[in-house]
Each structure stands twice: as C-alpha cells, then as structure tokens.
Amino acid sequence: DEGAAKVGVVETTRIVQSYSHPSYPNLVFYDLPGVGTLEFKKSTYLTQVNLARYDFFLIVSRTRFTENDLWLANEIKNIGKRFFFIRTNIDQDLYNEKIDHPKNYNETLILDRIRENCLGHIRTVDDTTNVFLISGRISYTSRFDFPNMCTALLRDYPGLKRHAMILAMSTNCKEVIRAKVDVLRSQTWVAAAVSAAVATPPIPGLSVMFDFSLTVGFVIFYKKQLGLDDESLERIAQIHHIPLYVLKDELQKILPAHFFTAVPDFVISLVKRQAVGTATEEVLRYVPYVGSIICATVSFSIILSVLRNLLNVMEKAALTLIDIVSERSVSDDEDNDDDEPI
C-alpha cells in the first residue's frame, strides 16, 4: 500500500521510520531497524532508537527468533513495557510442508510444532509470553492466530490509549468489530446529552433538524468504523475476489438498501419510527420550565435508543461480512492447494 513500510529479503529499515494512522494522526506506528546490523549495533541500539519512548512493541520474525530478538525483548521487559512475538510467513511454511511431505501433511500438527519451537526460545525471556503465528497476506487476516493477536492487543494495549487503538484498527476479525462496537456504544450517551441540550430552547424544529444531522453523521462514522462503507466493501471485494453485489445482497438481508445508497433516507426511516416521541417533544417545548426539562429527557432517550439499536444491527452486519470472507478464504485454500503462496 502507498505509504506503508517497505519489506524485502534484504535490510529495508535503516532509520527509525514513523507512520501516522491516516484517520488518527495522533496514533503513530514506528518501524524500528533490526538489532545487530552495521548501523545498529547492540551496544548502541537502545540509545539510537530511544526505546523508552514507545508504548508497545511487536517483535516480528519470518523464521526463528534470534538471540538479538530475545535480547531486545528482555530490554523491553526491563523498562516495564509490553511486547508480542509475531511469527510471519506461516502460509509459506505450510506450503513447503505440503510440497515436501504430502502424505503426512497435517496443518494443525505443523502449526503446533512451529509454535512449540518458537516458545522454546522466547520463554527464556518471559515464561508467560506467547507467540502469534500469522500470514502477511491480507486475505488471511481471519486465519491462523490473527484474530487471537487482535484480541490480545486489544486487551493488553496501554489503557489511556486503548480506545484510540481500537477505533484505528481495521475490521479484519470479529474480535476487533466487537471491541469497536463496545467503544462506540459507550460514547452514545455523549451524543444523546448534546441532543438533550439542543432540545431545551423553545425553538420550533431546532431539535428535529439537529437530531437528523447528528444521526446522519453518526451513521456515516459507524459505517466507516465497522467496514460497511462503500470504500471498505469495495476493498474487501477486490482482496477476496468476491463480487461487490454479492456482499451487498447478503448485507441487505440485515440492513435496508438505502443504508448503502442514501444515508439521509435511511435516517429518515429511523426518525419515522420515533415519530411519537418527536411529536411529544415538540409539544412539550412550549410548556414553561417543566416542559423544557421533559423535552430534553425525551430527546436524550430517543437519540440514545436510536444509536444503540443502530449499532446492534450494524454489528450483526459487520460480523456477517467476516463470515462471508472467512468462507471465501477457506474455499480459496481448497481450490488453490497447488498454488505457491505470496
């Protein structure tokens, strides 16, 4: 992808390179050079990369973990920071095993063997740490240990920045989707409180117009967060070779068609369901003092209910999308057993 860190069979990281998240610029990822190269000797490495400045570490290897990897993990542990070991290229390992030993091929046993081999090394540093076996292929984000890695990252990431991390993550697995919905649901009361504040002044139609605009904005935000916007769906369709209309046909069993084509129309349909509450609010607006208080309460309840119900339905749709992608990934594996992995 454009702007992504370089990868290759030779050393590609010669400086500490930062990559800001496109939607959350305050969330920055750093690609650190490997330990023990000519430019980054072990004796000066900690000072060169300023190890203490980072919140969390992912130690990645495409083969076995080296002595330098273990040394780095120990130094990270000594400064009180958390780290994960990630073993990549698992699809390549499985492919090689299938070619070399077709009669005895057993994916589960091979993965267990790789995992035990990795743990035998890394638990010399921390006997409670784990290793995550993943593939670098985008289409494999629901396979191997990728979902478990996301769950662990969501659980162990430093608390104050955890919400930002969750919202910045791609919706590649169910664990991330559920975490995103939990965060978004916890924020609905803020929108409801703002709606209640706007509902208090006795200005005809003000609350209705504001609530409409507010809800449209949240629907658009939720769509992007949960991977249900057009850009995300087109990307999923392209990566997994699934026709876009197939994805939308399945999702429209859960969400109406105008959710995808016209968000304002979709919001109008939501508002109509709350028509009684809205009408009550407009009448109460003209009742002095007590009317304003009741009006604000009604507005708060309506927006809170609309947003939370909306999140429930969108969560179901996003989880369904993961199921569709997972089924396609398994099907592709069965169809392409003889194809060399990327």
pLDDT in tens, 292-301: 444 455 566 7
Give the helix/strand (H/E) hosting 82.
strand 82-87
DSSP character string of 230-263: HHHHHHHHHHHT--HHHHHHHHTTTS-THHHH-H
CA–CA distance from 115 to each of 152, 173, 279 (Å)?
Answer: 17, 21, 62
pLDDT in tens, 3-21: 444 544 444 456 888 887 7
- Are both 184 and 329 inside the same structural domain? yes
> Is 70 exceeded by the pLDDT of residue 177?
yes
CA–CA distance from 125 to each of 47, 72, 75 (Å)?
Answer: 21, 10, 10
Q: What is the CATH number of the domain that holds 119?
A: 3.40.50.300
Q: How many CB atoms lie within 10 A of CB 23?
A: 10
pTM of the entire structure? 0.62
Whether 259 is in a domain gets the answer yes
Q: How many CB atoms lie within 10 A of CB 265?
A: 12
Residue 274, both tokens: 């709350």
> Is 60 exceeded by the pLDDT of residue 306?
yes
pLDDT in tens, 215-264: 788 888 888 888 888 888 998 888 888 888 889 888 988 888 878 887 87
Q: Which residues of 34-58 are buried (b: 16+ CB within 10 A; e: fewer)?
A: bbbeeebeeeebbeebebeebebbe
- Are both 256 and 309 inside the same structural domain? yes
What mean pLDDT is predicted for residues 42-48? 89
- Are both 247 and 300 inside the same structural domain? yes
Domain holding 272, by residue range, is 170-338
Whether 237 is in a domain gets the answer yes
The number of folded domains in the chain is 2
Whether 11 is in a domain gets the answer no
Whether 1 is in a domain gets the answer no
- Are both 178 and 296 inside the same structural domain? yes
pLDDT, position 319: 92
- C-alpha 219/C-alpha 311 separation (Å) is 9
- C-alpha 176/C-alpha 165 separation (Å) is 10
